[in-house]
Amino acid sequence: MGSNNAEKFYRIPEGKGPHSVGCTDLMTENAAEGSFLRLYYPSCNATDNEEAPWIPDKEYYQGLSDFLNMYRVVGERLFQYYVGSVTCPAKPNADFKPGEKYPLLVFSHGLGAFRTIYSAICIEMASQGFIVAAVEHRDESASATYYCKKKSVSETDEESTPNMEKEWIYYRKLKSGEEERCLRHKQVQQRAQECIKALNLILKINSGEEVMNVLNSDFDWNKLKDSVDTSRIAVMGHSFGGATVIESLSKEIRFRCGIALDAWMLPVGDDTYENSVQQPLLFINSEKFQWADNILKMKKLSSNDSNKKMITIKGSVHQSFPDFTFVSGEIIGKFFKLKGEIDPNEAIDISNHASLAFLQKHLSLTKDFDKWDSLVDGIGPNVISGTNIDLSPSQGE
């Protein structure tokens, strides 16, 4: 039952596409107003590189403890014991694979999450030929995040960073009497801006502009020059990140389409419904999370538009999308609702395959992802078109 067993039997799945996958972190200056993201990308084979640690700092354990209402000292020990040795199947700072232009996918995490814990999805997309920028949001919706502060003015570039210190930002709970919708709407607007900032940053690097990364790494960002297909850009996210997808599409036409995984619609502003979202949008829902009011909001956005699709994965739960579903055993997984009735690998495959088919169609890719087109229409094992939720009592509203 120890962490060694967890390491052997519970692994985040590797990418199934033709490309090896590397990952690296990028943080720009300007403190909390800058960008912070993990980039997953097609890489040259890096067999000698070790895999990247899944949760990179103990402060994330503390943030997760806060989010789950556990004492930090208890939570930190539990997380360290169960998932401290977990790695994600991407090679840190592996050489970028040049030679073609890759479409870009910006990914937005859910409430209480952070940039590294959707690695199964991001790695699969990178293995299939996408550059994926997984944003870490600084709107106080992440369990924890940080920016780097200079201790003193210095240009040294040593391996340890004595001149920089991490300033941590933890998850902010609702205050007594505070209206949740108001806070979440404010946060989702910041999150959309952070997605757009990440897009601008990657395009800046693509154009050959020098970008200062305040995190020391061996990754050669110059290799990304002219490697992004700037006409093929999409946005994807889970839960609060699903609302962020919608908000980002409404604000930025360079995002040609979006994928919202089990979207939480509360944060989406009324103006977004009124002005609608013009780009194609795919809602991929779990069976156990959704409720009528939330689904009706999705339908309000997508009524009479054949480029807006909704499917539901049977037997899945809200946590079928983040990585925790893969690294928890059956008992803990079921108890904390990290696993549904469906095998986690099958659920993530359905989600990823439907996503790839949708992206091929709406980014005009010349791949073979159209073999999964039927999933986008809700046809196939363990998937249905639309929703499993009974909407009849609310139909007259």
Q: What angle do CA 48, 51, 52 make, to 5 degrees?
A: 135
- What is the rounded (10 degree) CA torsion for 188, 189, 193, 199? 50
Secondary structure (3-state) at 238: strand
143, 64 Cβ separation under 8 angstroms: yes
DSSP state of 320: G
Known catalytic residues?
239, 262, 318
- What is the rounded (10 degree) CA torsion for 259, 131, 218, 170? -10
Residue 196 and residue 216: Cα distance in Å, rounded?
24
Secondary structure (3-state) at 250: helix
Q: Provide φ and ψ at 235, rounded to 5°.
A: -130, 145
125, 259 Cβ separation under 8 angstroms: no
249, 279 Cβ separation under 8 angstroms: yes
34, 27 Cβ separation under 8 angstroms: yes
91, 22 Cβ separation under 8 angstroms: yes
Residue 77 and residue 337: Cα distance in Å, rounded?
21
Secondary structure (3-state) at 241: helix
Residue 15 and residue 120: Cα distance in Å, rounded?
7
Q: Tell me the chain's radius of gyration from C-alpha atoms.
A: 20
> Could you tell me the sign of the dihedral formed by the alpha carbons of 157, 160, 162, 165, in that order?
positive
Q: How many other C-beta atoms lie within 10 A of the C-beta of residue 86?
A: 22
Q: Provide φ and ψ at 216, rounded to 5°.
A: -70, 130
CA atoms within 13 A on the CB side of 378: 17
Q: How many other C-beta atoms lie within 10 A of the C-beta of residue 258?
A: 29
